[in-house]
Amino acid sequence: MKNIVILISGRGSNMQAIVDAGLPGVTIAAVIANRPDAAGIAWAAARGITTRVLDHKAYASREAFDEQLADTIDAFTPDLVVLAGFMRILTPGFTARYEGRMLNIHPSLLPAFPGLHTHERAIEAGCKVAGCTVHFVTAELDHGPVVSQGVVNIADDETPDSLAAKVLELEHQLYPAAVRWFAEGRLSIDGARVRLADLAGADAAMMVPAP
Choosing among ligand GAR, ligand NHR, none, which partner's interface includes residue 95 (Cβ < 5 to 8 Å by kind)?
ligand NHR
Residues 43 to 102: which contact ligand NHR by CB under 6 A? Answer: 83, 86-90, 95
Task: Label residue 26 left, alpha or beta by phi (over 0 means left) and psi (-120 to 50 means alpha).
Answer: beta
Give the x/- contact pattern for ligand NHR in 98-127, rule: CB under 6 A.
Answer: ------x-x--------xx-----------
Q: Is residue 171 a contact point for ligand GAR (CB under 6 A)?
A: yes
First to last CA, the chain: 40
Angle between helices 13-20 and 39-46 (to 10 degrees): 20
Residue whose C-alpha is closest to residue 171's, from 102, 106, 117, 87: 106
Judged by CB under 6 A, the stretch of 15-23, 139-147, 177-185, 187-195 that binds ligand NHR is 139-147
Residues 56, 103: contact at Cβ < 8 Å?
no
Among 21, 39, 49, 139, binds ligand NHR (CB under 6 A): 139
Angle between helices 160-183 and 13-20 (to 10 degrees): 40
Among 5, 7, 14, 152, binds ligand GAR (CB under 6 A): 14
CB atoms within 10 A of CB 200: 7
Choosing among ligand NHR, ligand GAR, none, which partner's interface includes residue 139 (Cβ < 5 to 8 Å by kind)?
ligand NHR
What is residue 118's three-state secondary structure?
helix
Q: Is residue 194 a contact point for ligand GAR (CB under 6 A)?
A: no
Binding site for ligand NHR (CB under 6 A): 83, 86-90, 95, 104, 106, 115-116, 137, 139, 141-142, 144
